[in-house]
Each structure stands twice: as C-alpha cells, then as structure tokens.
Structure 1
Amino acid sequence: MITSVKNEKVKNWRKLHNRKERTKAGTFLIEGFHLIEEAIKSNWDVLEIILQEDVSLPAWKCDAPTVEVAENVFQHISQTKTPQGIAAVVRMKNSHEINGNLYLLLDRIQDPGNLGTIIRTADAAGFDAVMLGEGTVDLYNDKVIRATQGSLFHIPIIQESLPTEINKLKQEGFRIWASALTNSKDFHTLKPTSKVALILGNEGAGIEGTILELADEIVKIPIYGKAESLNVSIAAGILMYHLKG
C-alpha cells in the first residue's frame, strides 16, 4: 500500500490535474464508482485503478491493476469535495472516425459545467458526435468529466478546427444550423433536414464571425420573459431535441 504523497506514482497521478501534463501523458484521471464503471462498460482503456484503504472494489470485469493507497494519499490526488475513495487512470481517445446525421459543434465554450452538461444532453438526445473547436475548455478537465456523468464515454467527441470540419460536412450534404440572435429565425419555424450540424458558441461572445458566416440557417430561441438570454447548455438541449424531432 502506498502511504506517502512523495511516492513517484502519486506524483504522476497528481500531475494529471494539469492539462499540459495530461496531454503529454495521453491519460486522464476519473473519480467515483459510476464514472469508472461507465468507462469500463464503454471499452475505454482503463490503465490503473486507485483504491483507498478500507474501500471495496466492485466486481467489475476489468484487467487493470489496482493500487491501494492510504487515505491521506487519496485526498492528495482527489479533486472532489467528498471523494468515494476510488479513482482510475484512463487513456485519452480522439474519435476521428464518426458516422451519423446529427452533429454538435462547439465554438469556444469556456465553462466546464456547461461543456459537460452539453455532452450529457447530446448523448441523451441521440446525437452522433460532438466536435470541439479551438478555444473550448479541455474535455478532460475534472469538472467537465463529472458534469458529463459518464456520457463522455458514450458519444464520439473530436477536437478539430471548426471551419475545416464545416466545409467537409457541407460536402457530405449536411445543413449547418447556428444559434445566434442577429439575422435569425425562430427555431420552431424551421423543419430540420435529415443531416444537420448544429453550432453553439461562447457563453458571452457567441459564435465567432467567420464560423457564423458558414451557416445555412441562423436560429434563435424566443425569449418570452424578461431574461436577456438562456444558458448555453439549456439552449443546446432545446435545439438538439428539436433537431432530433
């Protein structure tokens, strides 16, 4: 059992709190029984399970080695307020091969909770893939992972240049919908075609101008009360369910 926070393994786990170190290692940390179970069930490559002393390992079918650690060590690597005493190191996956008719494109989403909730909703709404453009918060940020509630492991997520991907999608017969307030139509007045890619933009600035220009349809969600706008994750949910029809 590892009892010292100065242990090399512990230092390497702790480094995974940092985006640069995660990218360098090609791995990330997840915490909690539910997330680990979802990663295993979805056939992601779980490299190592970290188990706090006195915490029992469920009967998962997983070949990854288990490393037992003292409570102080687990607290040192944990990023949650009330840790469950179980974590895992998982290999990153960038799904380049994606198929389907409904894609979600995200331009510079900054809030980890928003990104995680949007991914979870895309999974629930039956979207086929999510594309993260440059300037979007790191997919493997611990707050993003927790907010996805495991959906990170269910739906292909790729990180690409959106203008390049949009041009490819157009060649494949996709209609591009963008959510914005200017020169827009109420979303429910438009009937979705069979292949649609939906773009949502930054919480404050919206979709970057050069990306917005590539849209076939600019849509908005009408505001009936006094609120100035909707949270981007709520807007994403409304539009995705409309497109799913």
Structure 2
Amino acid sequence: MEIIESVQNQKIKQIAKLHNRKDRKKMNQFLIEGEHLVEEALNSQVDIEMILTVNADKLTEAMVASSKQQYEITFKVAEKLSQTESPQGIYAVCNMKDMNDIVMNRVIYLDRIQDPGNVGTIIRTADAAGLDAVIMAKGTVDIYNDKVLRSSQGSVFHIPVVEMDFAEVKEKFEGTIYGTSLDSARDYKEITPADKFMIVLGNEGQGVNNDILSATDENLYVPIHGRAESLNVAVCAGILMYHFVK
C-alpha cells in the first residue's frame, strides 16, 4: 500500500478541497472522518473512492473490498484532512449519490436552518423515527458539511437527504403540509396527523419563510410551559416527528 507523507502531495491537496461546499459540488464527492462514519458508509453501500488511514492495521477486509484505493498517511497529513481538534486518523472520500427517485410519504422540510449540529440531529432523528426523507431548502447548511455528517452519526447514509425548492416539493408531494409558527397556529397535540405528511421547520432566528407558511395546509406550534423564549429547532423537530409517526 502506498504511503503519502507530504501535505503538499497533489492528491492530498485535492482531497482537502472537499472541506469547501463549492468544491464538493464541483467534484461530486465528500470527505468523512472517523472509524464509525467510515463503517456506516460501508454498511450503507456508499460508493467509496478511497480510504486513507494513519494506521494500516485499521483497514479491514471490508474496507479494502468496498473502496477503489487505499493509502497510508502520516499524522501531519491527517491533520491537514481533519476538521476536528483531534484527528481521528481514518478518512474516506465518497462519491455523492443520485437521489432523483425518492419516496415522499412522510418527510421533513428544512427551510434555511444554519446550524450544522441542528441539521445533523434532525437527520438522525428522522432516521430513528422512520421518515422517508429529509428535504432541504437552498440556504440550509450543506448536507456534506463535516459537522452535519458527524452529528448525524451516519444517519445521512440511511435516509435520503436532498436539496429542493419548496415549490417543487409542493408540486410532487401528495399529503398534508404542516408548517411551524408561533403566529396563527394550533397546538400540535390538537391535530390528528395525516398518514402522508410533511413537517416544515424554519431558520433558527427567523422561522419558516412567510411565503411557505401561507402555502401550508396547517401551521402548528409546540407550547412552551416555562420561561424559555423558544425551543431549539432540532428538539421541536423531534417532538413533532415522534407525534406524527405514532
């Protein structure tokens, strides 16, 4: 197995570009870090271009069989590729999957949510709750952002996550659309959820876009019984998703 020792190596420079959203889209690839995420990618049949590891002993037969190339790297190179404070020493370059035909009976729509931890947690919860897909508006943090991948704990490989304008989703979706808002909305516990539903969650500071709220079938809120000003959007998402899939 070839060893890459220099951070100036052209292959490493090219892989490091995957830290940027623009380059990920251009190359149609993304980078994952850590043994858990690499294992999840393998188990989910993600198309893996290459695996790079500081410790060659960590390369399993499954990793070799499921990736096109494997490289041993130095810790310096690992630091160059890592986006965490403590590099985990194993990385995979993955090819993005085509997501044209997805089931959309029970979905969640994210309108311009900015915090990658929130988005990753919502994806993980949607996976746990058994939803069909997570759909993201333009302006929402990138699916393949390192923090989104890590906070999703591999769920991003289990459930389709796609970027789509609301107008396009509304045209394709055949169920009931529920927005989330504090104005002119009903307590979520008052409704009987439809079998086919879409829950729309909005930006942490501004909420759901008013144009979207005016195009929903019904708008809901999760009541606050204490003195908190608002609920975290990922917590709100979890409450609603589990209520809807009962």
Q: How does 1:150-169 map to 2 (within 5 A)?
A: 150-169=154-173
Aligned to 2:44: 42
C-alpha contact (below 8 Å) 1:53/1:71 kept by paired residues: no
Residue 190 (structure 1) aligned with residue 191 (structure 2): yes
In the TM superposition, what is the alpha-carbon distance from 1:20 to its structure 2 partner? 0.9
Residue 208 (structure 1) aligned with residue 209 (structure 2): yes
Q: Distance in 2 between matches of 1:69 and 1:63?
A: 16
Q: Distance in 2 between matches of 1:32 and 1:47?
A: 16
Q: Distance in 2 between matches of 1:162 and 1:20?
A: 22
Stretches (4+) displaced over 3 A: none
Q: Which amino acid aligns with 1:113?
A: G
Report Cα offsets for 1:131-189 as digits up to 9, x if no partner: 111110111110111010000000011111112211321xx2x0001111100100011
Q: Distance in 1 between matches of 2:157 and 2:209?
A: 28
Aligned to 1:142: 146
Question: Cα RMSD over matched residues?
Answer: 1.2
Aligned to 1:109: 113
Q: Distance in 2 between matches of 1:86 and 1:168?
A: 40
Taking a change above 3 Å as real, the CA distance of residues 116 and 94 of structure 1, as seen in their structure-2 partners, is farther
TM-score normalised by structure 2 residue count? 0.95
C-alpha contact (below 8 Å) 2:55/2:72 kept by paired residues: yes
Report Cα offsets for 1:13-65 as digits up to 9, x if no partner: 11111111111100010001111111111111011001114652134242432
Q: Which amino acid aligns with 1:209?
A: N
Q: Which amino acid aligns with 2:39?
A: E
Percent same amino acid at aligned positions?
48
Aligned to 2:74: 70
Q: Which runs of 5+ in 1 are unaligned?
A: none
C-alpha contact (below 8 Å) 1:110/1:203 kept by paired residues: yes
Aligned to 1:238: 239
More deviation, 156-165/136-145: 156-165
C-alpha contact (below 8 Å) 2:56/2:72 kept by paired residues: no
Aligned to 1:199: 200
- Residues paired across the two proteins, number: 242
Q: Distance in 2 between matches of 1:232 and 1:177?
A: 15
Aligned to 1:28: 30
Aligned with 2:72: secondary structure? Answer: strand
Report Cα offsets for 1:87-136 as digits up to 9, x if no partner: 00001124121115211111000011110000000000100011111110
TM-score normalised by structure 1 residue count? 0.95
Aligned with 2:94: secondary structure? Answer: strand
Aligned to 1:84: 88
C-alpha contact (below 8 Å) 1:128/1:156 kept by paired residues: yes
C-alpha contact (below 8 Å) 1:94/1:157 kept by paired residues: no
In the TM superposition, what is the alpha-carbon distance from 1:211 to its structure 2 partner? 0.8
C-alpha contact (below 8 Å) 1:47/1:89 kept by paired residues: yes
Q: Distance in 1 between matches of 2:151 and 2:200?
A: 20
C-alpha contact (below 8 Å) 1:94/1:158 kept by paired residues: no
Aligned with 1:199: secondary structure? Answer: strand
1:124 to 118, 124, 128: 128
Aligned with 1:117: secondary structure? Answer: helix
Aligned with 2:46: secondary structure? Answer: coil
Report Cα offsets for 1:75-95 as digits up to 9, x if no partner: 111111222210000011241
Aligned to 1:14: 16
Aligned with 1:64: secondary structure? Answer: strand
Q: How does 1:213-232 map to 2 (within 5 A)?
A: 213-232=214-233
Residue 57 (structure 1) aligned with residue 59 (structure 2): yes
